[in-house]
A and B are shown apart, each in its own frame.
Chain A
Amino acid sequence: MEKVQLNVNGFPQVVLVGSHETILETLRNRLNLTGTKQCCDEGTCGSCTVLMDGKPVLGCLTPTVRCVGKEIVTIEGVSSGDNLHPVQKQLVQNGGMQCGFCTPGVVMTAIPYLKENPDPSIDDIKEGLSGNLCRCTGYKKIIEAVKNAAEELNG
Chain B
Amino acid sequence: MGHYFRPTTIKEALSLASDWPGNYKYFGGGTDLQIYRKQKLLNNEAIIDLSELDDTCSIKADENSMKLGAFVTLDEITTSSDIQTHFPLLAEAAASVATPVIRKTATMGGNLLVNNRCTLYNQSKEWRDAVGSCLREVGNICLVTGGKDKCFSRNVSDTAPALIALNAVVIIHSQDGKKEIPLQDIYARDGIKFHDHLDEDAIVSEIRVPTKPASWWFKKLRLRKTLDFTSLTVAATVDSAGIARVCLNGVSMSPVLIEESLKKLTVETVIKKARKNCKTVDNDLMPLKYRREMINVYLNEWWKSK
Contacts and interface: CB of A to CB of B under 8 A. Distances in A.
Given A19-B1, A19-B2, A63 B101 contact: no
A35 interface: no
B300 to A, nearest CB: 28
A65 interface: yes
A131 B100 contact: yes
A20 B102 contact: no
A46 to B, nearest CB: 6
B104 A63 contact: no
B159 interface: no
Contacts of B47: 19-20, 63
A44 B1 contact: no
A131 B75 CA distance: 14
A62 B4 contact: no
Nearest to A129: B100
Given A65-B4, A130-B226, A131-B227, A58 B102 contact: yes
Interface size of A as a range = 20 to 34
Interface string B72-113: 000000000000000000000000001111101100000000
Given A2-B4, A22-B34, A109 B105 contact: no
B104 A56 contact: yes
Contacts of B104: 55-57
Contacts, number: 77
B105 A63 contact: no
A118 B188 CA distance: 45
Nearest to A58: B101
Contacts of A99: none
Interface string A108-131: 010001000000000000011011
Given A22-B34, A43-B102, A66-B6, 19 more contacts: A2-B4, A20-B1, A20-B37, A42-B35, A42-B39, A57-B105, A58-B105, A61-B34, A61-B35, A62-B105, A63-B4, A63-B27, A63-B49, A109-B101, A113-B100, A127-B100, A130-B225, A131-B100, A131-B102
21 contacts: A2-B4, A19-B2, A41-B38, A42-B39, A43-B31, A56-B101, A57-B101, A58-B102, A63-B30, A63-B49, A65-B4, A65-B49, A109-B101, A113-B100, A127-B100, A127-B226, A130-B226, A131-B98, A131-B99, A131-B100, A131-B102
